[in-house]
Amino acid sequence: MTCESASGESHEPRPLPWPGSDGKRAYVIADPARPGPVSRRADGVEAAQLEMAAILLGHARQLVNEAGPEELRYLVAELTRTLTDTLRIALRVKS
């Protein structure tokens, strides 16, 4: 899906790293050359999500051989959430 700006330029909608008020996927349409406040905020949130993924991966590497079932269950849930965020970011950047 492509949207046309007021200047007549076409821009792809960017998926935001947070849901809309209805819980569904939220998008912003912006000029990548001149990102607005929503795009800059999304960049910051995505950077934080990627940093959290790196930290969580480090914890996972430490815990994998010594954690009990409850800790591993929690770790798997957090890794799943973080991997979902990371893949969404990677797919957006790839396209």
What single DSSP character describes residue 9? -
Q: What is the mean pLDDT of residues 81-88?
A: 90
Q: What percentage of the chain reaches a pLDDT higher than 90?
A: 45
The better pLDDT of the pair 53, 1 is held by 53
- pTM value is 0.74
CA atoms within 13 A on the CB side of 18: 10
